[in-house]
Every structure is written in C-alpha cells, then in structure tokens.
Amino acid sequence: MPNIASAKKNMRKSRAAAVRNRAQRSALRTALKKARNESGSTEVTTFAVSLLDRAARKGLIHRNKAARHKRQLAKAAAAAAQG
C-alpha cells in the first residue's frame, strides 16, 4: 500500500481505468461476436466497426488490430452478400 498521497491517487486512477477498460473491452468482444454471427446485418457490423475505431483511438487496442478486425468483418459481410 502506498504511503505518498500522489501514489495513492495514481492507484485509485489505475483501478478506475482498469474497470473502465475491462467493460469497454468486454463490450467490444461481444459486438465482434454478434457481427461475426450475423454477418448479413449491416447495423450490427457498423456498430462493431464504430466500437473498433473508438477502442483504437482511445488506445484500448492497437490500431493495426482494429484494422485487421474491420477487414475480417468486411470480408465476412461481402461473402454473406454473395450468397
């Protein structure tokens, strides 16, 4: 347990950020699974893409990882559109 006031504050901040990151990462994973299972649905895919963009912008995931997921979703949507 830290004794210095700034270290205590940093610990509080990091705990809060960890909780927030965990919730956002969970929501992102859920959206990706829904988009993968319902690849024909454009609104589900659009929502997943927006969450990916936001996560990459906020630093929750790497931007290349977000681009990779977006490419895979687009590929699955194109395959579903063809039949």
pLDDT in tens, 13-45: 999 999 999 999 999 999 999 999 987 688 999
All domains in the chain, ordered by first residue = 5-82 (1.20.58.110)
Asked whether the beta carbons of 28 and 52 are under 8 A apart, the reply is yes
User: pLDDT confidence of 83, banded at 50, 70, 90?
Assistant: low
- Alpha helices of 1-83 — where are they, by DSSP H? 5-37, 42-58, 63-82
This prediction's pTM: 0.85
Kindly state the average pLDDT of the residues 50-79.
Answer: 95
Q: Of residues 81 and 60, which shows the higher confidence score? A: 60
Kindly state the average pLDDT of the residues 45-59.
Answer: 96
Kindly state the average pLDDT of the residues 37-63.
Answer: 92
